[in-house]
Amino acid sequence: MSMNTHCTLPNVAKSAPSAAEDSAKDQAQDQAPALIDPFGRKITYVRVSVTDRCDFRCVYCMSEDMEFLPKRDLLSLEELNRLCGAFIARGTRKLRITGGEPLVRRNIMSLFRNLSRHLATGALEELTLTTNGSQLALYAQELADCGVRRVNVSLDTRDPEKFRAITKRGDLDQVLAGIDAAQKAGLSVKLNMVGLKGVNDDEIIPMMIWAHERGMDLTMIEVMPLGSVETERLDQYLPLDAVRARIAERFTLRDLADRTGGPARYVKIEETGGRLGFITPLSHNFCESCNRVRVTCTGTLYMCLGQEDAADLRAPLRNSPTDELLNAALDEAIGRKPKGHDFVIDRTHRDPAVPRHMSVTGG
Ligand code: SAM
Ligand code: SF4
């Protein structure tokens, strides 16, 4: 299967020679049963990590001596396209492309161009991206042309020096230019900010005001114990309950029911008119409504971000040109989706809950 070379919705499916083949296969798979886990949760949201590499080394995400996967272990972009198609045929309505840093994977836009055909047919409701923003200025318009409507950009501080200290490599201006380009291209931008005790706690309210002035939502994330990093997790962990209480001293928070298919709980800030989300895996477990799974760039399926159990999808993908083996592997894996994670950070739990870093599974 070759990759499409251009993309402007809704002509994608008609313009490329391989698209007819893809589309026939998509239709043939339309009848495949939905993926439903043992707790009755329908899997409609898949996060695909397209690379474990990144141009940053955020202190809470990666260690300085990360070992990256050899290229031969990675699924090709064509394989990722096929894998995503198989999930969509089984009821996935929302795909989030993540990493590592997804926009540093070579030729990544060809995957977006190919996946956009599922938006054109209506099989897929949403194709989104989580990025550190460093390459966003280059790709924002093309992403919009491929039907991407929303992007999540990670931004933990607007102080250039602090930004460099947190990301170890990043240039704040480049990320801000990426955010500008995304908004100019008509993409709706949500900021993700990991709360870090003693590092950016004083910036949360200013970040929220800035984001809301620019029409962006802000989601705060609690640091999760994934993989070993140089800093003690307990030293980084900022419980968001306290943050919320602090914001409530100055602003009026109104709980919102909408969950955007994710684990964030949102409030509307009456004074700014903007939305603020909280992802609080530690202080409030969000597993009961989990509709998602994660696939790594090697085709390993994690049924839960916080558990080690996984299933290999690369072998069934590579061992047969049709999707029977893959579908059987999906059924088997989803049948093992656990009820939830067991994250704890306290003095008796200093080790990571799971040894893999967030950059492997995709955030
Ligand atoms: N590189 C992209 C980015 O930074 O947005 C995408 C991948 S990154 C792993 C996805 C999200 O996970 C980011 O918002 C990042 O801040 C968050 N993240 C990484 N490690 C984390 C951890 N240990 N706990 C909580 N959030 C984490
Ligand atoms: Fe890279 Fe994103 Fe992890 Fe930061 S959070 S090191 S940008 S993958």
pLDDT in tens, 328-338: 999 999 998 87
**Is the minimum distance from the CB of 131 to ligand 1 under 6 angstroms?**
yes
Cα(250) to centroid of ligand 2, in Å? Answer: 31
Q: For residue 229, is it within any domain?
A: no
Cα(14) to centroid of ligand 1, in Å? Answer: 36
Lowest mean pLDDT among 11-25, 105-119, 154-168: 11-25
CB-based burial, 239-265: b 16+ in 10 Å, e otherwise: bbeebbeebeeebebeeeeeebbbbbb
Which one-letter DSSP state was computed for residue 201? G
DSSP element (H, E) containing 164: helix 160-167
Residue percentage of the chain with pLDDT more than 70:
79
Residue percentage of the chain with pLDDT more than 90:
64
Residues 6 or more apart whose CB falls under 8 angstroms from that of 12 comprise: 4, 19, 113, 116, 117, 120, 146
Query: Quick one: tokens of 241?
Result: 């309950």
User: Given the structure tokens 């109104």, which residue do they identify?
Assistant: 254
| Pocket lining for ligand 2, CB < 6 angstroms | 54, 56-58, 61-62, 99-101, 132, 154, 359
Cα(67) to centroid of ligand 1, in Å? Answer: 18
Query: Quick one: tokens of 219?
Result: 């989601």
Residue 116: domain span? 34-189+289-361
Q: For residue 218, is it within any domain?
A: no
Mean pLDDT of 247-255: 97
Radius of gyration of the chain (CA): 20
Tell me, what amino acid is at 149? R
pLDDT band at 236 (very low <50, low <70, confident <90, very high): confident
Residue 361 has a pLDDT of 60
Cα(106) to centroid of ligand 2, in Å? Answer: 17
What is the tens place of the pLDDT at every residue in 131-146? 999 999 999 999 999 9
What is the tens place of the pLDDT at every residue in 24-68? 555 555 567 999 988 888 999 999 999 999 999 999 899 888 899
Q: For residue 110, is it within any domain?
A: yes
Q: For residue 118, is it within any domain?
A: yes
What is the tens place of the pLDDT at every residue in 322-363? 999 999 999 999 998 877 666 555 545 555 555 556 666 655
Q: For residue 259, is it within any domain?
A: no
What is the tens place of the pLDDT at every residue in 140-186? 999 999 999 999 999 999 999 999 999 999 999 999 999 999 999 99
Report the Cα–Cα distance between both ends of the chain, in Å, rounded.
29
Query: Quick one: tokens of 46?
Result: 């898949």
What is the tens place of the pLDDT at every residue in 68-94? 999 889 999 999 999 999 999 999 999
Q: For residue 256, is it within any domain?
A: no
Domain count, the chain: 1
The C-alpha atoms of residue 259 and residue 152 are separated, in whole angstroms, by: 15
CA atoms within 13 A on the CB side of 73: 10
The CATH number of the domain holding residue 65 is 3.20.20.70
